[in-house]
Amino acid sequence: MPRVNVYLPDDLHNEVKAARIEVSAVCQSALREAVAVKEQGVGVQLEALQAAVRLRRTTPQGRWDIGAIDGTRWARETAEVKELQTIDQITVRELDCADDEEPFFEVQWDALGGGASFIELRSEFTTLGEWLVNKGHAEIDGEDKTFTVDADAYLQGFVEAAQTVWHELKPLVEEDEAVLRRRIGLLQRMERNMLAHGQLTDNAAAAEPGHVAESEPKNT
């Protein structure tokens, strides 16, 4: 059993000694109580933080953040070029409203003009409708199975993030595939060399902005 030194003031030491109190037993009991209180405090704080995260996701900013994460993933992992070209024509903007009103949004199509409170995902989108339904952010309307996405902060974040990814990738997509594969091979060799010399951990490699996985990306 480990030994721990406990320091007492002279007067307390004399009183404890006179009362013949078993210091070790009292200290163990007090420390167990202190640990329990500490753990309970951590648990309460953890619950509060988790509740705050959940509640934040119900705010416009929280929904925008979730949409931006999803838009980035869809654009990088699943989308087709024609879908990203179509997304690039969309603007989702928040309309002016009174302070005591819920924010509302309008979808504008640069090519067509006008606006709407939702997007109907028809033939322009091959993967997006099903992807959003699986995420719980779109509904299937009518017998024609049209996917409908309401205009809100989530959609605004999704569209803006997908557009950012498209603007980043478009010049690369227009490159010759042989050139792209040579660049991928070069980066992979550099990455393996850095790993071999301990300059880059596996986790750090995966987090690098230019990291290219050797395996095929998984569809969401």
Percent of the chain with pLDDT over 90: 28
Q: Which of 14-28, 37-51, 66-80, 203-217 has the highest mean pLDDT?
A: 66-80
3 domain-assigned = no
Same domain? For 65 and 94 the reply is yes
| Mean pLDDT computed over 48-73 | 92
pLDDT of residue 77: 95
Same domain? For 166 and 182 the reply is no
1 domain-assigned = no
Structural domain tally of the chain? 3
Q: In which band, very low, low, confident or very high, does the pLDDT at 122 lie, cut at 50, 70 and 90?
A: confident
142 domain-assigned = yes
| Mean pLDDT computed over 161-179 | 93
Q: In which band, very low, low, confident or very high, does the pLDDT at 182 lie, cut at 50, 70 and 90?
A: very high
- Location of structure tokens 């109580």: 33
Q: Region of 113 please: left (phi>0), alpha (psi -120 to 50) or beta.
A: left
65 domain-assigned = yes
2 domain-assigned = no
pLDDT of residue 219: 45
Stronger pLDDT, 207 or 161, i.e. the higher one: 161
Same domain? For 80 and 43 the reply is no
* Final residue of a structural domain among 56, 75, 93: 56
Predicted model pTM: 0.66
- DSSP states of the chain as a string? ---------HHHHHHHHHTT--HHHHHHHHHHHHHHHHHHHHHHHHHHHHHHHHHHTTSHHHHHHHHHHHHHHHHHHT--HHHHHHHTTEEEEEPP--TTSPP-EEEEETTT--EESEEEE-TT-SSHHHHHHHHTS-EEETTTTEEEEE-SHHHHHHHHHHHHHHHHHHHHHTS-HHHHHHHHHHHHHHHHHHHHTTSS-HHHHHHSTT---SSPPPP-
Same domain? For 78 and 39 the reply is no
5 domain-assigned = no
Q: Are 63 and 154 in contact (CB under 8 A)?
A: yes
Cα gap 81→35, rounded to integer Å: 57
pLDDT for residue 208 is more than 60: no
b/e string for 24-38 if b means 16 or more Cβ within 10 A?
eeeeeeeeeeeeeee
155 domain-assigned = yes
125 domain-assigned = yes
φ and ψ of 118, to 5 deg: -160, 170
Same domain? For 130 and 33 the reply is no
Q: Region of 114 please: left (phi>0), alpha (psi -120 to 50) or beta.
A: left
Give the structural domain span for 158.
60-174
